[in-house]
Amino acid sequence: MKITILGAGVIGVTSAYYLAKAGHEVTVLDRQSGPALETSFANAGEISPGYASPWAAPGIPQKAMKWLFMKHAPLIIRPMMDAATWRWMTAMLRNCTSARYAVNKGRMVRLAEYSRDCLIALRDETGIAYDHRTQGTLQLFRTAKQLDGIGKDIEVLRADGVPFEVLDPAGCVAAEPGLRPVRDKIVGGLRLPNDETGDCFKFTNELQRHAEALGVTFRFGVDIRGLRQDGNRIVAVETAEGEVRSDDFVAALGSYTPALLKPLGLRLPVYPVKGYSITVPIVDEARAPVSTIMDETYKIAITRLGDRIRVGGMAEIAGFSSDLPANRRATLEHSVEDLFGGAGNQKEATFWSGLRPMTPDGTPVIGATRFANLFLNSGHGTLGWTMACGSGRVLSDLISNTKPEIETTDLAISRYH
Ligand SMILES: Cc1cc2nc3c(=O)[nH]c(=O)nc-3n(C[C@H](O)[C@H](O)[C@H](O)COP(=O)(O)OP(=O)(O)OC[C@H]3O[C@@H](n4cnc5c(N)ncnc54)[C@H](O)[C@@H]3O)c2cc1C
């Protein structure tokens, strides 16, 4: 079958790879000059099924009020609220009950665990390299209250069969020797040994080459303007360079997917939650992290990527803004310097922002729509890198009429109806 994929972020490219492997004739369109140049460009690098949880959780509304007034705040809400922002935030707050959290988390863990397994299989079959490491994630607690509060998370990890280790400060230093000089700031940690790390941009670029070898055509610099429908079918993608026709279409435009679907009468509740990262060249190997550290106090991830440290985090409700305020950079610098002081050269660091395509329930939207030949793979929010391979594989199975290896009915857009 001829399939057009809209978007060459990590989600569009993994979809293309699996669809081509399943024997389809695939074309990928993107406005950028290459793959992964928007949100998939400089994320925090965590492949973290162990931390797959929706942001909408019980107690979050109260915590959010506190975060808003912190100096190095993990959450920022800019005073420019429009109807779309209010609608999305209200939907997210409705998901903050224990019952909804359990359902949403269950879906996310299922997809994220499957995705990590798909990534390992893909790595084995292609030999793809992307500064990856398989040394787990360490969630770091600076207060006894944080450490005492992990009971619920541990229950969930146990129930889901996810291996974990609760560490004292010495255990944290053994896992991350660069933390030795700041041992006194740490009260403990929760380590997830099966989590991985890697550079999502490098991975997506490498996978593009593998997809091309399987026959996928990539067309870059193509601005997508809309979808032309005829009854319950999509006839063509309208682009600045004319129409592109095919049998099936996959929308994987990240935060820009809702705008594409709106004229068709499809409402996809995906909001662009902005985040920031810095990438710092390592100058002192002995002080540098060896894997990912999640600093629970600032909600910032510090990840080792080859000879660089990637520091990423913050959730900013600011619409489609792409500005780079100096105080956000200061928060990231503070977080890494406070734990791994002197490991990197901040003067040479690069600063970046990206828009997480977030659904209010944290789960991406994957699968069929009411248009017979239009499929979605979008809304991966905080965990698009973690969930990319599983999402691409599941989508390919659904389009190919092959039974997916995990349950997928609750991933489709129909769950919002
Ligand atoms: C600060 C930060 C840290 C993060 N850390 C992690 C992490 O550690 N682990 C993790 O799993 N996830 C993380 N994420 C989330 C992850 O990066 C995203 O979920 C993922 O990149 C989304 O991929 P995507 O392909 O859906 O979107 P994108 O990468 O944005 O791809 C969408 C593509 O569509 C194209 N496009 C859009 N509109 C048009 C148009 N009109 N015409 C043509 N092309 C168009 C864009 O050019 C783009 O290439 C993080 C995100 C941020 C912001």
pLDDT for the residue 85: 87
In ligand 1, the atom with minimum distance to the C-alpha of 260 is 41
3-state secondary structure the chain: CEEEEECCCHHHHHHHHHHHHCCCEEEEEECCCCCCCCCCCCCCCEECHHHCCCCCCCCHHHHHHHHHCCCCCCEEECCCCCHHHHHHHHHHHHCCCHHHHHHHHHHHHHHHHHHHHHHHHHHHHHCCCCCCECCCEEEEECCHHHHHCCHHHHHHHHHHCCCCEEECHHHHHHHCHHHHHHHHHCCEEEEECCCEECCHHHHHHHHHHHHHHCCCEEEECCCEEEEEEECCEEEEEEECCEEEECCEEEECCHHHHHHHHHHHCCCCCCEEEEEEEEEEEECCHHHCCCCEEEECCCCEEEEEECCEEEEEEEEEECCCCCCCCHHHHHHHHHHHHHHHCCCECHHHCEEEEEEEEECCCCCCEEEECCCCCEEEEECEHHHHHHHHHHHHHHHHHHHCCCCCCCCCHHHCHHHHC
* The residue type at 176: E
Instruction: Indicate whether 176 and 295 sit together in one domain.
Output: yes
Radius of gyration of the CA atoms of the chain, in A: 21
- My answer on whether 141 and 241 are in the same domain is no
307, pLDDT greater than 70? yes
Asked whether the beta carbons of 383 and 300 are under 8 A apart, the reply is no
208 in the same domain as 258: yes
Range 385-399 average pLDDT = 98
The answer to whether position 119 is within a domain reads no
In a domain, 263, yes or no: yes
- Position 143 scores a pLDDT of 95
Q: Is 107 part of any domain?
A: no
CA of 357 to the centre of ligand 1 (A): 7
Q: Within this chain, do residues 230 and 330 fall inside the same structural domain, yes or no? A: no
- HSE value, Cβ hemisphere, 13 Å, CA-based, for 345: 6
**Are 223 and 348 in the same domain?**
no
Distance CA 40, CA 199 (A): 9
Encode pLDDT of 190-227 as tens digits: 999 999 999 999 999 999 999 999 999 999 999 999 99
- Nearest residue to 255 (alpha-carbon basis) of 268, 246, 265: 268
Q: In sequence order, which residues have a C-beta less than 8 Å from that of residue 12 and are 6 or more positions away?
A: 5, 6, 28, 30, 35, 250, 252, 377
- Band (356; pLDDT cuts 50, 70, 90): very high
Per cent of the chain over pLDDT 90 is 84
C-beta separation of 280 from 349 below 8 A: yes
Q: How far apart are CA 221 and CA 72, in angstroms?
A: 37
Same domain, residue pair 275 and 260: no
Work out the average pLDDT over 349-359.
Answer: 98
**pLDDT, mean of residues 119-141:** 97
Count the Cβ atoms, other than its own, within 10 Å of residue 291. 22
pLDDT attached to residue 79: 66
Residue 276: predicted pLDDT: 97
Asked if residue 386 and residue 330 are part of one domain, the reply reads no
In a domain, 181, yes or no: yes
Q: Is the pTM of this model over 0.85?
A: yes
Q: Could you tell me the pLDDT band of residue 160, with boundaries at 50, 70 and 90?
A: confident
Same domain, 260 and 301: no
Segment 94-109, tens digit of pLDDT: 999 989 998 999 899 9
Domain boundary among 311, 327, 358: 358
Range of the domain at 80: 55-99+130-196+271-358
| Cα–ligand 1 centroid distance for 9 (angstroms) | 6
- Domain membership flag for residue 374: yes
CA of 15 to the centre of ligand 1 (A): 14
The CA-based angle 407-409-410, given to 5 degrees, is: 95
Determine the pLDDT at residue 80: 67
Token pair in block for residue 23: 């024997």
Cα(395)–Cα(37) distance, integer angstroms: 22
Longest CA–CA span in the chain (Å) reads 65
**At 302, is the pLDDT very low, low, confident or very high (cuts 50, 70, 90)?**
very high
Is 45 contained in some domain?
no
Q: How far apart are CA 411 and CA 408, in angstroms?
A: 5
Question: What confidence category does residue 149 fall into, taking pLDDT thresholds of 50, 70 and 90?
Answer: confident
Each residue of 80-90: pLDDT tens digit?
Answer: 678 888 889 89
| CATH code, domain carrying 411 | 3.50.50.60
277 lies in the same domain as 411: no
Atom of ligand 1 nearest to the CA of 383: 11
Q: Answer positive or negative: Cα dihedral of 217, 405, 363, 128.
A: negative
Q: What is the CATH number of the domain that holds 134?
A: 3.30.9.10
Arithmetic mean of pLDDT, 319-337: 94
Is a pLDDT exceeding 90 seen at residue 176? yes
Closest by CA position to 113, among listed 412, 387, 408, 405: 387
Judgement on whether residues 389 and 294 belong to the same structural domain of the protein:
no
Q: Which residues line ligand 1 (CB under 6 A)?
A: 7-12, 30-32, 36-40, 43-46, 223-224, 252-254, 256, 275-277, 301, 312, 354, 356-357, 378, 380-386
Atom of ligand 1 nearest to the CA of 275: 1
Mean pLDDT of 362-378: 98
148 and 255 share one domain: no
Other C-beta atoms closer than 10 Å to the C-beta of 21 total 19
Pair of tokens at residue 355: 């828009």
Identify the pLDDT of residue 82: 83
Whether residue 112 lies inside any domain: the answer is no
What is the mean predicted confidence (pLDDT) over 59-78? 73
Residue range 3-48, pLDDT digits in tens: 999 999 999 999 999 999 999 999 999 999 999 999 999 999 999 9
Question: Which of ligand 1's atoms lies nearest the C-alpha of 301?
Answer: 8
Q: Confidence class of residue 73 from pLDDT cuts 50, 70 and 90?
A: confident
Which residue's C-alpha comes closest to atom 35 of ligand 1?
Answer: 7
Q: Which residue has the higher pLDDT, 160 or 212?
A: 212
pLDDT at residue 293 greater than cutoff 70: yes
Q: Which of 54-58, 226-230, 386-390 has the lowest mean pLDDT?
A: 54-58
Number of domains in the chain: 2
51: confidence class by pLDDT, cuts 50, 70, 90:
confident
Query: Directed axis angle between helix 151-160 and helix 98-126, to 10°?
Result: 50
Q: Are residues 18 and 152 in the same domain?
A: no
CA 277 to ligand 1: nearest atom? 1
| Residue 299 Cα to ligand 1 middle (Å) | 20
Tell whether 117 is covered by a domain.
no
Residue with the smallest CA separation from ligand 1 atom 3 is: 43
The predicted structure's pLDDT at residue 391: 98
